Amino acid sequence: MASFIIKPAHLRCVVRTCRFLREPQTRNTLCSSRSYATEEGNRGPKIYTKTGDKGFSSTFTGERRPKEDHIFEALGNTDELSSAIGLAREFCLDKGHTFTYQLDKIQCILQDVGSNIATPQSSARESHISRTKFAAQPISDLETWIDTFTEELPPLTNFILPSGGKGSAALHLARTVCRRAERSVAPIVRSGEADPDVAKFLNRLSDYLFTAARYAAMKEGSVETIYTRPE
């Protein structure tokens, strides 16, 4: 899978190659990054291009839009979500949780979410759409993982506060970022500019992160803080 950074002068493609394994993973990442550039020799591309200095950026279809456009707002929220999940993953690895491979896969799928959002259907050619179409299978994967966690968890009978250890609290934080990402993507999907399954995935992902947070707390033997009305 790939995330594309489009600049008018040239195209740079940063490829993330993801191997989705079913077994619990170690700190070795599943996604290896390789950078391809047209410059001479083996020099990598410069990280700065200056093409956004005037407050505009490009979609995958080549449109130049202001950086406060709803497309870039949604992309920023999705990027922040992936970063939050990455932080939670590190805490969960420290505790030896066996579900971290799922977080790896989710981060890779969020790259696909971003690619779809960055390809407005109104300006996309068929070649754009075919390269960034979002599949529904990841939604089913999330539901399977949620169901598996739920089978081991005690019934939820109270409101709980983000707590239960560093991994659990970080997963709760990622959940709140996910809700914001979902809110920013919803109008884009309603307008027909992104695949409906993108919104469905983010909606299910917040449920997954909530359940995974409870599961992490349970496995660590950490106490979740129960909401009580302040006196």
The dihedral built from the CA positions of residue 130, 136, 67 and 17, taken in this order, carries a sign that is negative
In this prediction, residue 16 carries a pLDDT of 37
Cα of 133 vs its chain's centroid, Å:
16
Q: Where are the beta strands (DSSP E) in 56-184?
A: 56-58, 64-66
Residue 65, strand partner residues? 57
Instruction: Give the integer Cα–Cα distance in Å for 176 and 139.
Output: 19
Mean pLDDT, each 10-residue run in order, the chain (231 residues): 37 36 45 41 77 86 87 97 98 98 98 94 84 93 98 94 97 98 98 95 98 98 93 85
In this prediction, residue 228 carries a pLDDT of 92
Phi-psi region for residue 59, left (φ > 0), alpha (ψ -120 to 50) or beta? beta
Single out the residue of 202, 226, 203 nearest to residue 214, CA to CA: 226
Determine phi and psi for 9, rounding to 5 degrees: -80, -30
| 67-226 is a CATH 1.20.1200.10 domain | yes
Coil vs helix vs strand at 229: coil
In this prediction, residue 42 carries a pLDDT of 63
